Structure 1
Amino acid sequence: MPTLRSATLSPAPAATPSPTAATTPRSAKRRLTPRRAADSADSAQFTAPHTSPLAGAGPMGTPKMLSASPKSSRKRLYGDLVAAEKPRWNPRDPAQMQAVKEALHVATVPSCGVVCRDDEQRRVLEFCKACVEQERAGSLYVCGCPGTGKTLSINKVKERVSRWADEMGLDTPDELSINCTNLGSTSDIFSKILAKFQVRKKASGKLSPLQQLQSMFSHKESAPRRMLLVVVDEMDYLITRDRAVLHDLFMLTTHQFSRCILIGIANAIDLADRFLPKLESLNCKPLVITFRAYSKDQISNIINHRLKALDYDVFEPLAIEFCARKVAAASGDMRKALGVCRSAVEVFESRLQDSSKQGFGVVTFDHMDTALSKVFKPVVVNSILCLPQHQQMVLCALANTFQHCKKKATTLGELNKSYIEICRSSQVPAVGMLEFSNMCMILSDQGYLKLGQSKEDKLRRVTLQIDISDITFAFKDSRFFQKCLEQPKF
């Protein structure tokens, strides 16, 4: 292959296209490699820096065949990997806004299925398949923090078990879902199970529903033919109210002719320490599957899957990532993440109504930050916002007093001076000293400050009992109290 140096030293031919270049198709020229170019008689024309085989090739003799527009080069480089952007949504359209809120609602079951719980669903499905195929009873305990997809995953598994049984030609198990919080008494759970088996003839004598079930599962003649998949949600209610009912419930699966497939769902993740030893001694230890809290990547993935059904972009990616990181660090509760996203949409909607801008736009990082502040602010912040205005101004005076000094206490007189100065600058009439003392006593009873008396000078001392950061955070969205907090210390 001729080098750049040899091509430069060689005499340049006339700038007339050769017959080969004139007859070669345009696509073939693009596929021409340097080796093939060197083998041709016109190879020097492509290596010489100041000559061009085509007229009007552009500056510095760049061949026209090598130029391409940015759009075509991008399309050639990435092809189908470049996804087309979704159209912009119009939040002023009530139908579009309602569709967004419904997609982010906790009660909405996503059409894409349960995301990020494939391993847990697989284990539950394998357990149910083994019980149905072998016609034997079994118990399973599903635990995890709130908002980790336990109930939704079990409901999906129930649908898959029914489809699998139909495909395999097996008897489809009956299904029974019980929420323990809806029970009048804990023992009513056995009545619901007994009614599902559709017992035509009750047992002789005055037997309780539990005793009837135990008798039914102890004899082959009375045992039902079809399996019953019992899903008991909110099992924490049984754990706290009546542990004997919990033990009897799991023991139903230990009888020889039992037809119960029991799946318990609860938020208590310390079952191994409190209940498994007892259940193991009763020979009814269940299989335990724990649903861990969602990570930030899982939360982002779930939110994006819910919004995928929409034909437009609603959030900027940074806003979703910020929400996912905050919720994952706090609790990993997916329900709280969906609530924050809905709140961010409402913040965006309210600001849009107050402005004269066009209806197009997306939920930004600032909207999400405002929504997260409302959800994750401390309890003391809510209580501060519920105080009367003058009591809030007293807290501002305390914050001004202790913000720039190392003292942790002040006198009631100094606090009153700071309070009066705040009222004067804010053009709010100040209350008298007696009413001011009563306000401080009320704040002391509520735990915001502490009143005491010095033994030395017998002056009443005031100590702040809450963090100054809580006061500043509570008033960060109020211009009035921001001015109060900017007052100098007296």
Structure 2
Amino acid sequence: MPRVTRSCKTKTDTKENLAEPKKLTPKKRKSPEKSNSENSSSPKSACSNSLSPFRDQFASKLMLDTPECNKFRSARRALADNSDFNLPGREKEFEELSEYLNDIISREAYGSLYISGAPGTGKTATLLKIISMEKFMTKLSIGYVNCTSISTIGSIYKRICNELNLKLKSGSSEKDCLAALEHYLSSKHKMTLIILDEMDQLCSTGKKQDILYHIFELPAIPKSKLILVGIANALDLTDRLLVRLQSKCELKPKVMHFSAYTKAQIVEIFKNRFEESGVSDLFPPAAIQLLAAKVSAVSGDIRRALSIGKRVIELAELEKKKKCTKIDLSKLETLIEVDEKPPVEEPKVQLKEVVTVLNTVYGNAQTLSYDVDDSFPLLQKLLICTLLLIIKHDKNKNITVGRLHDVYKKVCKNRNINSIDLSEFLNLCLLVETHGIVRLTKKKEPRFHQVQLQWDEDEVYSALKDKQMITNVLNDKHLLSR
């Protein structure tokens, strides 16, 4: 009986407990049910509560596999510094190098070649493109050495032997490696091509200079079928440091110079690469023109131009992703419901992005505006002013690149400006020539090229937009003394 009574009491209590909440607090019972039903029927509320913290991540992922992102990736690959693309602007050099190698190979003779030019002018890229052709690969045993990677100058012989797969005893000395190399060249062997890139790293005094002489004397070893190619920046390296070679015709290397890239050539390279990669609409012509104008005016370095181009594309892609993450939440929720991606505008590089990168690379001293700056850089202005100084006050009006360079160095020193060597100065002259201000008449030796002013003085004043500088330089008559 007690159990029955307890059971009844429990039943009664339970009914009362269930009835009381319904009567006293109906909203508390109804509110959760209503809330649950609303959540299940309204994706917007659910999205607001659960997806809001991850909105930016989700929005950014919406672009990962879009054609726009693929286009940015393709553009970056197009500007990669490799030999998979053609070499616009170097057709003449390509032809000359090919003919030189073909001639020596057909005669099974020997020869040496020195290629000079400022950094980024396509020296190594052109040569490597040629020797990658099947007709050269099959006929030549090729050894390539970048001299910047050599720890000691004397180890150059060992590196060459390793490149040619010559057998050396362990612990071979410098003399042993040279002897092995000479033995290989004096015995029966396949036509051999040795490329010494950045060869100016081997240039110094004393013993180190003797090593350079030994290397250039290797092709003349009896029975040798060696083609030696040295690549460096200095224009007159062989004239300054290898004087003994000039007196022996069989040892004197053929000299070939690569000029800095002009604005038109840089534009052509960019357009060519973008067209081959199918992204020619990503980089507007005005943006390419601005980039090419700046790089050609400063250095004409195509590697620098390609690097800047990649940075511009990365900046444009970053800006595009920032816009994507700013999608309105309500729109994003709607897109999630219908499983669609947001509409994306056609990606394009903006002029302001080119300007931003150029100002970062070249610093505030050469800050650009959004418009293409047609004025001349300081070094080009000084070159033109120096030419005017010689024309107006020097008796000898037959002006060579060498003479102009000598006076130019004095003008720069007088203004506490770092001068440039003859190789860079020749590139500077060629850049000024592209503007039509001067004309170079080429001679056998670059230092003897004739320089002629094509504009009159009034046109020069108008173009340089710096009358004070012209006046100051023209007053430096004492700098003309030899």
| 1:334 and 2:302 matched | yes
> Within 2, Cα distance between the matches of 1:132 and 1:183?
29
Instruction: Note the C-alpha offset of 1:309.
Output: 2.2
| Aligned-partner SS, 1:230 | strand
> Within 1, Cα distance between the matches of 2:123 and 2:144?
14
Instruction: Note the C-alpha offset of 1:214.
Output: 3.2
| 1:235 and 2:235 matched | no
1:91–1:318 Cα change, 3 Å = farther
What is the aligned counterpart of 2:289 among 300, 309, 321? 321
What runs of 5+ residues in structure 1 fail to find an aligned partner? 1-89, 167-171, 382-490
1:346–1:314 Cα change, 3 Å = same
Residue 194 (structure 1) aligns with: 161
1:189–1:375 Cα change, 3 Å = same
What is the aligned counterpart of 2:213 among 235, 238, 247? 247
Relative contact order higher in (CA < 8 Å, ≥ 6 apart): 2
| Aligned-partner SS, 1:308 | helix
What is the aligned counterpart of 1:147 among 120, 130, 133? 120
1:91–1:307 Cα change, 3 Å = farther
> Within 2, Cα distance between the matches of 1:319 and 1:101?
16
Output the amino acid matched with 1:251. E
Contact conserved, 2:68 with 2:347, CA < 8 A, in 1? no
What runs of 5+ residues in structure 2 fail to find an aligned partner? 1-64, 328-343, 368-482
| Aligned-partner SS, 1:208 | helix
What is the aligned counterpart of 1:278 among 234, 241, 244? 244
Correspondence list, 1:19-38, <5 A: none
| 1:374 and 2:348 matched | no
TM-score, scaled relative to structure 2: 0.53
Correspondence list, 1:33-44, <5 A: none
> Within 1, Cα distance between the matches of 2:353 and 2:66?
14
What is the aligned counterpart of 2:147 among 180, 186, 196? 180
| 1:94 and 2:94 matched | no
> Within 2, Cα distance between the matches of 1:369 and 1:196?
44
Contact conserved, 1:91 with 1:359, CA < 8 A, in 2? no
Output the amino acid matched with 1:232. L
> Within 2, Cα distance between the matches of 1:347 and 1:91?
18
> Within 2, Cα distance between the matches of 1:165 and 1:193?
18
What is the aligned counterpart of 2:234 among 268, 281, 286? 268
Output the amino acid matched with 1:257. K
Instruction: Note the C-alpha offset of 1:281.
Output: 3.3
Residue 163 (structure 1) aligns with: 135
Correspondence list, 1:256-405, <5 A: 256-281=222-247, 284-312=251-279, 313-355=281-323, 356=326, 358-378=344-364
Contact conserved, 2:110 with 2:219, CA < 8 A, in 1? yes
| 1:103 and 2:78 matched | yes
Contact conserved, 1:224 with 1:259, CA < 8 A, in 2? no
Instruction: Note the C-alpha offset of 1:257.
Output: 1.3
Contact conserved, 2:266 with 2:302, CA < 8 A, in 1? yes
Instruction: Note the C-alpha offset of 1:366.
Output: 1.8
1:147–1:279 Cα change, 3 Å = same
1:314–1:380 Cα change, 3 Å = closer
> Within 1, Cα distance between the matches of 2:183 and 2:276?
51
TM-score, scaled relative to structure 1: 0.52
Runs of 4+ residues over 6 Å off in structure 1: none
> Within 2, Cα distance between the matches of 1:201 and 1:109?
33
1:344–1:91 Cα change, 3 Å = farther
Instruction: Note the C-alpha offset of 1:265.
Output: 1.1
Contact conserved, 1:295 with 1:328, CA < 8 A, in 2? yes
> Within 1, Cα distance between the matches of 2:319 and 2:165?
57
1:165–1:110 Cα change, 3 Å = closer
Aligned residues: 279
1:273–1:91 Cα change, 3 Å = farther
Contact conserved, 1:142 with 1:291, CA < 8 A, in 2? yes
Instruction: Note the C-alpha offset of 1:140.
Output: 0.6
Residue 448 (structure 1) aligns with: none
Contact conserved, 2:117 with 2:258, CA < 8 A, in 1? yes
* Larger fraction in helix: 2
> Within 2, Cα distance between the matches of 1:216 and 1:324?
47
CA deviation string 1:19-60 (max 9, x = no partner) = xxxxxxxxxxxxxxxxxxxxxxxxxxxxxxxxxxxxxxxxxx
Instruction: Note the C-alpha offset of 1:372.
Output: 1.0
Contact conserved, 2:131 with 2:137, CA < 8 A, in 1? no
CA deviation string 1:201-239 (max 9, x = no partner) = 98xx98522133335545xxxx12311111111112112
Contact conserved, 2:197 with 2:230, CA < 8 A, in 1? yes
Instruction: Note the C-alpha offset of 1:276.
Output: 4.5
Residue 403 (structure 2) aligns with: none
Output the amino acid matched with 2:217. M
Output the amino acid matched with 1:300. V
Instruction: Note the C-alpha offset of 1:348.
Output: 1.6
**Pairwise CA RMSD:** 2.9
| Aligned-partner SS, 1:261 | strand
> Within 1, Cα distance between the matches of 2:124 and 2:257?
13
| 1:209 and 2:177 matched | yes
Output the amino acid matched with 2:237. L
| Aligned-partner SS, 1:237 | helix
CA deviation string 1:357-381 (max 9, x = no partner) = 8342311222211111111115899
Instruction: Note the C-alpha offset of 1:295.
Output: 0.3
